[in-house]
A and B are shown apart, each in its own frame.
Chain A
Amino acid sequence: MTQTAMADMDRWLATSYGPAYRTACLILRNPADAEDAVQDAFLRAWRFRDALPSDEAGLRPWLYRVVVNACCSKLRAESPHRSRREDLGDTDVADPDPTPELLSLRSESSRLVVDALADLPEHLRVAVVLRYYAGLSEKEIATAISRRAGTVKSRLHEARQRLATDPRLQSLQSPDKAFDGEATR
């Protein structure tokens, strides 16, 4: 690989790695899996860099499409474990082996949001994270998940309805207990 190509990749990583990693974390709920997925995604994207859109607007949904595919592969690979955990009814139990980063930084409200997201079906969770965390438009999400914009819209609608009825997020919706301060994104 040439030095120029490496520098290009470094610049791309500097701007896109963090958001992509956090997006994968919100989808997967597991930093290690997310790191693997994002690494796979960037390597795969690099393999097909000749086919990448040149403009930033086209590149972004393309990258998220690869990230989402990598996350879905991870989810499918781990689906037996996930279903077993859900059968045991311990989805709300704290992670028995939390990483130090999570121990030191996870706040209660964030945990509630992440838990509520985790209870959403995969297709709804992906749409919500891409729309309200990654900030993709409905059209860009449609590109990212290979579905029509109408499908994305209905998925977002259904996801918001489900989240609205989630008791863990009631505190977020009441004005007096809304999030304090600005988002630290």
Chain B
Amino acid sequence: MIDESVLTRALAEAGAVYDEPPGGRAAILAALESGSRREPTPDRAMLWRRPVPIAVAAAVVGLAAMGAVYVGSREPERTSPAIGVVNTTSPDLSTGKSGGSAPQASMPRPPVPAPAPLAATDGGSGSGRASGAGTAGGGSVAAGAPAAQAPPGQAGQAGSLAKVVKTGAVEIAVGEGKVAATLSRLETLVASTRGFVAQSKTQEFGDAPSGVVSMRVPSASYEPVLTQVRRLGEVRTATSNGQDVTAEFVDNEARLRTLRRTLAVYETLLARARSIGEVLAVQQQINGAQTQIEQLEGKLKVLTDQVSYATLTVTVVEESSDADLAVAENPSRLRAALDDAKDNFGDGLAWVIAASGTLAILLVCAGGLLVLAWGVRRAMRRRLV
């Protein structure tokens, strides 16, 4: 049998071969700080060793889901916005030019992680990250996303503030013969905010002239531009979307820093290489690291651009004539029947779901009553005996 001391020394020497990876600790700290690291894969073996807690948890989740479905079927009007992504759509056919409640005013502030200054091991590049990001509470996107309000050139600074990508779409109807003029006003509006028109499509012939303009405006000017766009005509639909990409941004920056440090180590090793084989091997690693660095830099560039400039797509159409409206309000009988069938299907499904909750409660109560009756009967029999 091999001697323990020999084995200890051999393993100590074998273990010493493996150098601690450069940036390994910093990557962990960065992942912890950003909170964007994926959740570690749960150990399935550990899970299956605990069937009882899992069964209890599954039962609780099932009951909660059933209750949620039951409550949801009773209160279909109640909604809750998703965390992190805000999407408001306001079909606005009847409220005139002002469009009723403006979506940008009701948009809740996207959640902002509360990062702390990074430790010294991270190279110091993450320091000073906490300013302006720790505030909580409601408000508009503009109030909760300082990065979006920064000038375009400064919006991509290293992860110091929240990064929000804003997009929106508005469809407005203008008077007869005013499509071209409205499109021209839109271009002027974009130019006044130092934005630009990314894409434009106009159809000015035929019975229904229309135009679509995809505008890129500085994020800080998004809400004012949206307000002015809504004043150009009758708003038919308006959609606003704000997506918080702070975590992705910080994660990519941390990976980039790590890769740059790794590249520096490889370059040191390249200088020490003695043989052609060693040079080729190190060079291969350097090429791989450089490729990853370029990919990450490209991703960060795209993200920075998306954060700096919001995208607003405006569709301009002519208001329909009375005849068109009459046609739209009198669809064919088959279409009406299909619409009725769709509505009835939804209603029927909602009724079944609602009834299933009631039925479940009734079954539980009936079971309890049966058990109670069985117990009483048994007790009475014992007393009789």
- Do they bind each other? yes
A69 B43 Cβ-Cβ under 8 A: yes
Chain B interface mostly:
helix
Q: With A100-B278, A160-B1 given, is the CB distance from A40 to B12 under 8 Å?
A: no
CB A184 to nearest CB in B, in angstroms, measures: 4
Residue in A3, A17, A97, A169 whose CB lies within 8 Å of B25 = A17
Q: CB distance A132 to B11 under 8 Å?
A: yes
Q: Closest Cβ of chain A: how far from B373's Cβ, in Å? A: 45
- From B120, B121, B269, A101 is in contact (CB under 8 Å) with B269
A119 cross-chain contacts in B, Cβ below 8 A: none
A107 touches B17 (CB 8 A): yes
Contact digits for B251-284, partner A, Cβ 8 Å, 1 yes 0 no:
0000000000000001001101100011001101
Q: How many residues of A contact B (CB 8 A)?
A: 64
Contact yes or no, B1 A113, CB < 8 A: no
Contacts of A141 in B (CB 8 A): none
Q: Cβ of B75: which chain A residues have Cβ within 8 Å of it? A: none
Cα of A43 to Cα of B126 in the assembled complex, Å: 19
Contacts of B270 in A (CB 8 A): 100
Q: Give the interface residue-count category, chain B.
A: 35 or more
Contact partners of A70 in chain B: CB under 8 A? 40
- Bitwise, B1-41 to A at CB < 8 A (1) or not (0) is 11110111111111111111100110111011101010011
| Given A103-B278, A178-B6, CB of A17 within 8 Å of CB of B20 | yes
**CB closest chain-A residue, reference B285:** A100
Residues of B within 8 A of A184 (CB): 12-13, 16
- Judge whether A26 and B11 touch: CB under 8 Å: yes
Verify A39–B266 contact, CB threshold 8 A: no
Tell whether A173 is near chain B: CB-to-CB under 8 Å.
yes
Q: Is the CB of A183 within 8 A of B121?
A: no
Question: Please, how many angstroms separate the alpha-carbon atoms of A9 and B11 in the complex?
Answer: 28
Taking a contact as CB atoms under 8 Å apart, the answer to whether B24 and A35 are in contact is yes
Asked if B118 CB lies within 8 Å of chain A CBs, one says yes
Bound state CA distance, A3 and B33, in angstroms?
A: 10
Q: Are B278 and A104 interface neighbours, CB within 8 A?
A: yes
Residue B156, interface by CB 8 Å: no
Alpha-carbon separation in the docked complex, A65 to B273 (Å)? 38
Interface string of A1-28 (1 = CB under 8 A from B): 1110111011001100110011101100
CB contacts (< 8 Å) of B8 on chain A: these are: 132-133, 183
How distant is the Cα of A185 from the Cα of B31 in the complex, in angstroms? 28
Q: Is the CB of A163 within 8 A of B17?
A: no
Q: Is A126 an interface residue (CB 8 A)?
A: no
The 7 A-B pairs of least Cβ separation, nearest first, read: A183-B12, A185-B12, A22-B15, A133-B11, A25-B18, A113-B14, A164-B2
The 17 listed contacts between A and B (C-beta, < 8 Å) are: A1-B33, A3-B116, A6-B33, A9-B119, A10-B25, A10-B121, A13-B25, A22-B15, A31-B21, A44-B40, A100-B269, A105-B17, A107-B17, A117-B11, A161-B1, A163-B2, A169-B2
A-side interface residues toward B, CB under 8 Å?
1-3, 5-7, 9-10, 13-14, 17-18, 21-23, 25-26, 31, 34-35, 38-40, 42-44, 46-47, 69-70, 73, 97-107, 109-110, 113-114, 117, 128-129, 132-133, 157, 160-161, 163-164, 169, 172-173, 178-179, 183-185
> Known contacts A103-B278, A185-B16; can you find 6 more A-B pairs with CB under 8 A?
A1-B33, A39-B28, A99-B281, A100-B270, A101-B19, A107-B17
